[in-house]
Chains A and B, each alone.
Chain A
Amino acid sequence: METFFQNLLNGIALGAIYALIALGYTMVYGILKLINFAHGDVFMLGSFVGFYAGGWAGRLLEGKGGVANASWFTFSVILVVSMVVCAAFGYLCERIAYRPLRDAPRIASLITAIGISFFLEYGGQFVFGPDPKFFPRLLEKKIFNFAGVTTTSYQLIVLVVALIFLVALQFIVYGTKFGRAMRAVSFNFETASLMGIPTDRVISLTFVLGSALAAVGGMLWGLTYAKIDPLMGLMPGLKAFVAAVLGGIGSVPGAAVGGLIIGVVDSFVGGSQFSTYRDGIAFLILILILLFKPSGLFGRTTTEKV
């Protein structure tokens, strides 16, 4: 029973990170019908920016006890730096690589996305080096124990930070003018542009938002799992995509729920005797959903028109 709750807790913390990445997939797919394969690697970039910014902050704070004593303030600053860098990268990707291909067949953009993904992965190996790096301990790590279930302050931070950003995004999408524009573009691109919605700007901002959220995910991943490497975005990226499909692509609460489900399943399989099947199980879920409920849990069904 203790193992069960332990796995559940670890799964929820992992799922919160998947949810943050899944949001980027779901927003971009909802608007452009593009599987942004590079999104998982933007998550990696977020982690690495955090790593280098953390090292830099550590040198700045040398006299004051180093980065180990860093405060919430330092963490927030580094988080914002990482978000800004990733958002800028997301914006550039959209401008340089995806926008010229918007009227092209979808496979062209898909291959471009794969190209950007390769560029980040192998560029990361080239620039950062292929060996794993150890993420600085930006915040104090406390270990709590409730009736045999161990949790760290990091896991709680992951949950709180992820929740804040999810609520913020929910507000942006459903409570602001930009969010309404975004939903309109996602509903019907051409009609939205005829109604005077600046579709290009909406799409750019969607990429900016999604990439910033991926950066948050990357920072939280670095904090909890400590080890980061240039290929780390591959599997979490694919699993987050599965989460987005599971929740119903285009839906913010769907991505959150899907992320949590995938995280919990991942954690349970990883903690069981079938742990070597861990990477296969997410895809099995994906195939089953697509076969039996392609619209996902919260998605809207679309009918094909002739």
Chain B
Amino acid sequence: MGPAAQPSGSGSRQRWWIRDAIGLAVVIILLAIVSSTIERIPIPGMAYYFRIIVLAGINVILAVSLNIINGHAGQFSLGHAGFMAVGAYTSAFFTFFYFNPYLIAHGGDSSPVLQNALFLVALLIGGLAAAVAGYIVGIPSLRLRGDYLAVVTLGFGEIIRVIVLNIDKVGAARGLAGIPNWSSFFWVYFFAWLTAFVSFRLVRSKIGRAFFSVREDEIAAEAMGINTTRYKVQAFVLGSFFAGIAGGLLAHYLAYLNPSMFTFIRSIEVVVMVVLGGMGSISGAVIAAIGLTFLLEQLRNVKDWLHLSSDPRMVIYALLLIGLMLTRRQGILGRKEIWDVMPRRKDVIPEKPDEEGEGKLDDTSGPPVQ
């Protein structure tokens, strides 16, 4: 189904670029249409739903980007919130101290094009800063595996949070309020699409195949001449870049940042999304991110239904998590994509059932599910 399946003549290659350009244009037009109409849908409480929809989009970016590290490259990171914090604070720093004052000094908010351009620049700076952080965190992954790597990334995430907590310029423990409210449905879902797109292309590229080989058996991959170190660091850098973008989008959506938003519980939420969707499944991560965001919001109602005095939301969440691991630990889709499990044409050769690896310590896929 992908480019790898096609003959690699120059003609088909050219068509790929055209197809991507058309795809990008279609996505932008669709998003522009949807974003201009969605807020006007006459449903009671639409403002509330709109907020959840935007937050779901941000979670999609986080889950898909973590899936690159955890699902594709098989490295277990518990520090995604830290990268998100780097991106959020860096981009907010630029818009808050430089871009927004500049805009106001040069004719206020009358120029949406300039404002969006500046926002894009700030997001990219945030993403790059997070990528640098990812590079630094990626270095220990050269030596550590599995649980130890998980704990080290957790530690890095917490260290980043503690450092932010001590930078007075960005508000320290008080938080940073008054960040310009520049995030929009369009930007959030544009980057959600971009993350998924890059992720899909990655899987079908040489880099993606190298990721898989590292995930399946590092020693064997090394013996085959794959520079495992390089690919592990690449996975971290790419994953944290998008986490940083998500952080920037969140910062400019909530217009407020506080270090307590980026504790390791936040990282775990993202890990749960990836595991729920099925580690290594991009569409699974998307579905799980959207589903969990809405589920967690809906669970707020349980308190009212049962007339409880305190909120059982997170208790239910915890029980769901344990139940999921006990009953379907490979997640909703396992390692497959959504179209792999959909009814398909008969002339396509079915995938071998034993394709999902077993025995590897840090992956979720169990035996194939019938």
Contact = CB atoms under 8 A, between A and B. Distances in A.
Interface stretch (B124-132, B158-166, B174-182, B250-258): B158-166
A126 B147 contact: no
Contacts of A276: 162, 165-166
B16 interface: no
Contacts of A277: 162, 166
Given A35-B147, A283-B159, A304-B219, A290 B152 contact: yes
B146 A101 contact: no
A63 interface: no
Given A107-B363, A108-B364, A122 B314 contact: yes
A105 B364 contact: yes
B141 to A, nearest CB: 11
Given A35-B151, A122-B318, A283-B155, A111 B275 contact: yes
A290 to B, nearest CB: 6
Interface string A102-129: 0011111111101111110111011001
A129 B144 CA distance: 39
Contacts of B313: 122
Given A112-B326, A294-B144, A105 B363 contact: yes
Interface in A117-161: 117-119, 121-123, 125-126, 129-130
Interface residues of A, number: 45
B187 interface: no
Contact of A291 (B76, B140, B326): B140
Nearest to B223: A306
Q: Chain B interface mostly helix, strand, loop or mixed?
A: helix
Contacts of A125: 310, 314
Nearest to A241: B151
Nearest to A127: B310
Nearest to A37: B268
A118 B162 CA distance: 22
A101 B148 CA distance: 20
A100 B326 CA distance: 7
A164 interface: no
B312 interface: yes
Interface of B: 76, 140, 143-144, 146-148, 150-152, 154-156, 158-159, 161-163, 165-166, 219, 268, 271-272, 275, 279, 310-315, 317-319, 321-322, 325-326, 329, 360-366
16 contacts: A105-B363, A105-B365, A109-B325, A111-B329, A118-B314, A125-B310, A130-B310, A245-B151, A279-B162, A280-B161, A280-B163, A286-B151, A291-B143, A294-B144, A304-B219, A306-B219
Sorted nearest first, the 5 A-B pairs with minimum C-beta distance are A283-B155, A280-B162, A122-B314, A115-B321, A118-B318
Interface of A: 33-35, 97, 100-101, 104-112, 114-119, 121-123, 125-126, 129-130, 238, 241-242, 245, 276-277, 279-280, 283-284, 286-287, 290-291, 294, 304, 306
Given A34-B147, A115-B322, 19 more contacts: A35-B147, A100-B326, A106-B362, A107-B361, A110-B147, A111-B271, A112-B326, A114-B272, A118-B317, A119-B322, A122-B314, A126-B311, A129-B310, A279-B158, A280-B158, A283-B154, A286-B151, A294-B143, A304-B219
